[in-house]
């Protein structure tokens, strides 16, 4: 029987980091959604070490990649991650080429390096180590690299609706967590608000009604609500609920009185709250603006995400804690995540799941996104122990 040391020796660290560089060099910004190149790289690698591979076309040119290392039984352990990234943004703010995968002082730089191509690479090379070890597999290990996590979560939703995850018993989502175990995350609600006015030339502005100035009443009310939320709670890492206005649109030029103004904002929801409660509060804020200022305000809910928590006593956590301690020589820390990822969708589908991956979430979505190469290697080793324990049916 192969030892754990022999299993981990099957992970070629240089090959792992080289593959991660290839993934970073494959531009998969979303929007517009360019995931095919990354999916093809993954599919080719997975086929090469013996996986059955399916490309699930969610939208034209945007496939999920599903790679399964088959065991004797249909039960799967799920490794999940997303192939899309946020946009690169202003390249002048980067000190490293965002699509080069450059390595400097132990960090690999590039868009998607932390969020979350490092996690994808680590999971795949864990499966490769298991395949190369020759350990008999009673159960299967499945990898899903999904599209569209950064916008509408179409990839994981497509997996669920098509029944692709029906045999999954536990799930590990490799979002960046600095190799801490994430046991809770925020939910959120996204809105569009619109105010209306009357169009006029600015030379006769007294004939118009300014929609942007009317929106100012909404902004002030949301600001007061946001400040009030700070007194609600103070959870570790997650802190308190917030409202953030991220987009404002209005007007066509300085010589025109605008007749329409729109904002996009979100209300973050913390464990202990409900989406329904938060939505009701936001609608009450907008209702007060309408009544106080006698203006028309339309409020449209775009989408929402539920909060998520998992008990530290769940088997999915215990298996991970044991593997992480074996690799790193110390018990892993627990944390929460300020944001939303697909672990909640998996858990709601009945798959006990957890977030754990290499990289720092605070570098994601920012210039000079980066990940420690050693964290990527450690993650692959931890995932390999997890995969082996499950596949050998000892978990």
Inter-residue contact 231 to 241 (CB < 8 Å): no
Average pLDDT over residues 232-245: 95
Inter-residue contact 116 to 81 (CB < 8 Å): yes
**Number of neighbours of residue 47 by Cβ within 10 angstroms:** 12
Instruction: Indicate the pTM of the whole model.
Output: 0.90
Q: Which segment of 31-40, 64-73, 130-139, 335-344 scores lowest on mean pLDDT? A: 335-344
**Number of neighbours of residue 197 by Cβ within 10 angstroms:** 22
Asked if residue 395 has pLDDT above 80, the reply is no
Asked if residue 1 has pLDDT above 90, the reply is no
Specify the DSSP class assigned to residue 332: P
In this structure, what token pair is assigned to residue 148?
């569209």
Inter-residue contact 127 to 63 (CB < 8 Å): no
Which residues have C-beta within 8 Å of that of residue 206, sequence separation ≥ 6? none
SS3 68: strand
What is the average pLDDT score of the chain?
A: 96
pLDDT > 70 in the chain, percent:
99
> 190-209 pLDDT, tens per residue?
999 999 999 999 999 999 99
Give dist(CA 287, CA 225) in Å, integer: 13
**pLDDT at residue 393, rounded to an integer:** 82
**pLDDT at residue 382, rounded to an integer:** 98
Average pLDDT over residues 150-176: 97
Give dist(CA 57, CA 38) in Å, integer: 14
Cα–Cα nearest to 193, from 257, 249, 277, 276? 249
Q: Which residues pair with 59 in a beta bridge?
A: 62
Concatenating the DSSP letter of every residue in 335-389 gives EEESS--THHHHHHTT--EEE--SS-TTTTTSTT-EEEHHHHHHHHHHHHHHHHH
Taken in order of first residue, the domains within the chain and their CATH numbers are 4-184+308-391 (3.40.630.10), 187-305 (3.30.70.360)
Asked if residue 164 has pLDDT above 70, the reply is yes
pLDDT > 90 in the chain, percent:
96
């Amino acid at each position: 029987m192969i030892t754990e040391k022999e299993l981990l020796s099957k992970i070629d660290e240089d090959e792992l980091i080289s593959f991660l560089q290839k993934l970073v060099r494959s531009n998969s910004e979303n929007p517009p959604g360019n995931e095919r190149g990354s999916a093809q790289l993954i599919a080719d690698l997975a086929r090469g070490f013996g996986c059955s591979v399916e490309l699930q076309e969610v939208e034209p040119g945007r496939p999920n990649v599903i790679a399964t290392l088959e065991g004797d039984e249909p039960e799967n352990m799920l490794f999940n991650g997303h192939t899309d990234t946020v946009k690169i943004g202003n390249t002048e703010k980067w000190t490293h080429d965002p699509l080069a995968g450059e390595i400097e002082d132990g960090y690999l730089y590039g868009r998607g390096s932390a969020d979350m191509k490092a996690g994808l690479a680590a999971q795949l090379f864990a499966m490769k180590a298991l395949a190369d070890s020759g350990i008999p597999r009673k159960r299967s290990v499945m990898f899903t690299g999904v599209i569209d996590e950064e916008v509408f979560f179409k990839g994981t939703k497509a997996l669920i609706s098509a029944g692709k995850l029906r045999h999954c018993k536990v799930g590990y989502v490799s979002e960046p967590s600095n190799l801490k175990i994430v046991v809770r995350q925020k939910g959120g609600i996204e809105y569009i608000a619109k105010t209306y006015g009357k169009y006029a030339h600015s030379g006769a502005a007294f004939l118009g009604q300014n929609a942007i100035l009317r929106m100012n009443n909404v902004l002030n009310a949301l600001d007061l609500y946001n400040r009030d939320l700070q007194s609600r709670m103070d959870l570790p890492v997650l802190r308190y609920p917030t409202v953030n206005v991220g987009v404002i649109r209005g007007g066509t030029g300085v010589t025109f009185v605008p007749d329409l103004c729109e904002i996009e904002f979100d209300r973050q929801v913390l464990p202990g709250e409900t989406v329904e409660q938060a939505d009701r509060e936001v609608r009450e804020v907008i209702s007060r603006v309408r009544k106080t200022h006698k203006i028309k305000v339309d409020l449209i809910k775009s989408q929402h995400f539920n909060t998520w928590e998992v008990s530290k006593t769940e088997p999915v956590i215990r298996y991970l804690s044991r593997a992480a301690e074996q690799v790193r020589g110390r018990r892993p820390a627990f944390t929460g995540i300020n944001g939303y990822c697909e672990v909640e969708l998996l858990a709601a589908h009945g798959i006990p799941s957890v977030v754990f991956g290499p990289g720092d979430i605070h570098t994601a979505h920012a210039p000079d996104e980066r990940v420690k190469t050693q964290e990527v290697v450690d993650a692959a080793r931890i995932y390999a122990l997890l995969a082996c324990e499950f596949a050998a049916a000892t978990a």
